Chains A and B, each alone.
Chain A
């Protein structure tokens, strides 16, 4: 009897059992990028499991849409990914336009000028979105300066958006069949020339700034030690979780809807798709937090390239709005995906031929990326959770809808 007791006590001594601690991170936490609650099961400093609890920002976008006409839904898409609202507007409008094109009795085409304006504004919006992502990621890791630099430049972009659509964040600019005419930008007018000059001025100012940001944060040894080789997402895992956009390209998969499945007029522009590679001299591995972050920095340069091509060509003449009497798509359903700054934004719309949709479903890129968090964070440190959330760049408004 005695001997068994002794062995039992020995086991306890050899494998000391510590209680798992459950910590709630969020919903009000500066680095959760919105109202996200993470339930962390911790073994000391090591994360056994991180369970995201979402829904704090749920606003019934999908159900609400069933009671609204198509033009009325556009302001609600603004509030999905409020950092890149232009791209959300565009995704929805593209879906409705494709659904309307199915009706052969009504001929309908988006004017050339509107297409150019859409690409111009959405690429600028992509820069604004990535700037926010860059700034807040630096702040998560503990560098405050990049945030101020990013917001200084983002402010100039927001002023440009304000001039063309009258709002800083919830634009409601891209409409079904064209773009908004609230602030008219007449072809060939001085106002148009001034506006394009202003954009060119911004690009001239901003392009060298990207290299500056790289000096400031990307190359920084403290930053790279915290992000390189952390939370590696292999290509198979990225695909199986449905991660898209910079997260997918950060895992080394060369896929960009703008190039591979061109919508609108993206096939006319020449741009590269940055894909993550192993960088042994720095220590970066494909799929780690640093690669995902670096993709965004490189994408800003590509967006600048696209905008420069539009400025060189100049905006074509003509109207900015198609001749539409009413938005009344035919009976049917559509799924359309577009490349938003955070990844593949899809809209699934079912129409019964009335001015109101029967069903609207938004496929949010952030939701898919966030679902990979649980597997990515297993076995890492608490501080790495912050690095992961920042690197997958989520906006809770889009996750919860």
Chain B
């Protein structure tokens, strides 16, 4: 009998101890929200901030892609398909370039004066700034003809976070497809990319891109448009 009563007391008491924990929650702000109803992407209501560097959808800035196939090699699940061919010897789509990444987030594409392989970030960099991303060779030619000196910008070492040297493009890309339905978001391909053109979107559209058709998840990055603009390219590319 004694044990029976003690058992009841224990049962009631321990539940009340637990209830004390839950009752405190009444006075604390909510941590949950009703997902589709209290959610507004445009007004950014209840939308969680996506941290910088989040591994979302793969995106290739195809203008900068040199077709080195490193990403295709490192991919553990083979979700990247690249086909293409080497250009005949001596031909190249453009020369080597420098991409100067500034600490405020800007990227300056251009040629560093007195360029050598080892760039010292502590010194000042004189960058011949080229704003256009398309056909840099063309732009360089135009710049040289116009003799526009004002496009040369000077950066001190404090502003620059890093400098990437782009290799000359000697590869003709026919196809660059990424099948996001089999991608495992490991991010290995973005690490090996020498031109840093293959990135993972850390924005909302990099996360919310669902589709009813699996084929819609194959993203094709097309370089044909660029080739068409290039006059040296043959008319075949224009179909």
Contact = CB atoms under 8 A, between A and B. Distances in A.
Contacts of A182: 53, 55, 187, 190-191
B14 A220 contact: yes
A75 B13 CA distance: 48
Given A71-B188, A76-B76, A152-B31, A167 B55 contact: yes
A166 B31 CA distance: 22
B200 interface: yes
B188 A166 contact: no
Contacts of B54: 162, 166-167
Contacts of B230: none
A170 B186 contact: yes
A216 B19 CA distance: 7
B18 A166 contact: no
Given A71-B188, A75-B184, A166 B200 contact: yes
Interface of chain A: mostly helix, strand, loop or mixed: helix
A145 interface: yes
B219 to A, nearest CB: 19
Interface residues of B, number: 29
Contacts of A217: 18
A215 B31 contact: no
B202 interface: yes
A222 interface: yes
Interface size class of A (residues with CB under 8 A): 20 to 34
B185 interface: yes
Interface string B190-203: 11000000001010
Nearest to B53: A183
B21 A220 contact: no
A68 interface: yes
A148 B22 CA distance: 11
Interface of B: 7, 10-11, 13-15, 17-18, 20-22, 31-32, 51-55, 74, 76, 184-188, 190-191, 200, 202
14 contacts: A74-B186, A148-B32, A166-B51, A166-B55, A166-B187, A170-B186, A215-B18, A216-B18, A216-B22, A219-B18, A220-B17, A220-B18, A221-B15, A222-B15
Q: For the complex of A and B, list the 4 residue pairs with the smallest distance between their C-beta atoms, beginning with the closest.
A: A75-B186, A183-B53, A72-B76, A166-B55
Interface of A: 68, 71-76, 78, 145, 148, 152, 155, 159, 162-163, 166-167, 170, 172, 180-183, 212, 215-217, 219-222, 224
Given A170-B184, A180-B191, A221-B15, 4 more contacts: A148-B32, A152-B31, A216-B22, A220-B15
